[in-house]
Amino acid sequence: QVARVRANLFFQRGTLAGALRVIPYEIPTLEQIGAPEACEELIHRPNGLILVTGPTGSGKSTTLAAMIDRINRERAVHIITIEDPIEYVHGHRRSMVVQREVGSDAHDFAGALRAALRENPDVVLVGEMRDLETISATLTLAETGHLVFATLHTNDTAQAIDRIVDVFPPQQQRQVQIQLSQTLAAVIHQRLLPRADGAGRVAVFEVMLGTPAVRNLIRDGKSNQLRNVLATGAAQGMRTLETDLRRLQQAGTISRQVAVAESLHPNEVE
């Protein structure tokens, strides 16, 4: 057994076609994917919300799998994952891992999350926060003393905050900002970029941690100021996407053209 395959079959020009994604049985380590050092500290937290964001195909599932696998190897806890579909398979090591697939093991994400509250988990992975119900249930889990991992599709870390808050009606947004300010442990934004030598792809990361300054800005609805905190938070383990792009470019890992094209603030890369 070498790998599992996630397949999407469809018709084009009257013939069958497919898109295949290979998922290895061996889960890569945090070191192998080049994850930020902050990830090592985050997995030992007893509670809080950790968001991994990025565009489709940016390696979010792999990063989450690596973090869950590290917890599984180092902590004796009860882990529940809710995915659509299950990609990486986790065996029982130090932890007990329950993996539920939407469609076959649960009707939807929101229902599985509500059920998880009665299943005594320590750690919960939410494959994707797609709607208001799922986001609300995820925040409740994080608020009630669980360590919760979840994904979103965003262009940077600050946008993740706006994406969550904007899902709710205006009259609820203030309360959601307070919930986020109390539960957010980190937002990790990532992308996969082509290596300059043509040998595959490399991950680039932006990291925002739930420091007092970040929490205050979220509570006060000032997400537009979060980038300033990231830019000055290197000593605390934070980094902007541009900082990581510049690091990889200077090391010769990615080309200047790729670094500039991927940056939301190209002047900080050049």
Domain ranges of the chain: 29-239
Question: Residue 270 — pLDDT band, cuts 50, 70, 90?
Answer: confident
pLDDT tens for 230-254 read: 999 999 999 999 999 999 999 999 9
pLDDT in tens, 80-138: 999 999 999 999 999 999 999 999 999 999 999 999 999 999 999 999 998 999 999 99
Residue 1, pLDDT score: 66
User: Is the pLDDT score of 229 beyond 90?
Assistant: yes
Residue with tokens 């925002």: 208
The residue-averaged pLDDT of 65-78 equals 98
Confidence (pLDDT) at 189: 98
Choose among 89, 67, 87, 62: nearest CA to 77: 67
Question: Residue 162 has what pLDDT?
Answer: 97
pTM of the model: 0.94
Q: 109 with 134: CB under 8 angstroms? A: yes
Question: Do 121 and 79 form a contact (C-beta atoms < 8 A)?
Answer: yes
pLDDT, one tens digit per residue, over 205-224 is: 999 999 999 999 999 999 99
Q: Residues in the chain, how many?
A: 270
Instruction: Kindly tell me if the per-residue pLDDT of 256 is higher than 90.
Output: yes
Contacts of 253 (CB under 8 A, 6+ apart): 195, 196, 202
Q: If residue 200 lies in a helix (H) or strand (E), which one and from where to where?
A: none
Q: How large is the average pLDDT for residues 1-29?
A: 91
State yes or no: pLDDT of 267 exceeds 70.
Answer: yes
Contact 190, 34 (CB under 8 A): no
Token pair recorded at residue 128: 């994707």
| Phi-psi map region of 206: left, alpha, beta (phi>0 left; psi -120 to 50 alpha) | beta
The class of domain 29-239 in CATH terms is alpha beta
Residues 154-198 pLDDT 10s: 999 999 999 999 999 999 999 999 999 999 999 999 999 999 999
**What number of other Cβ atoms are within 10 A of residue 101's Cβ?**
16
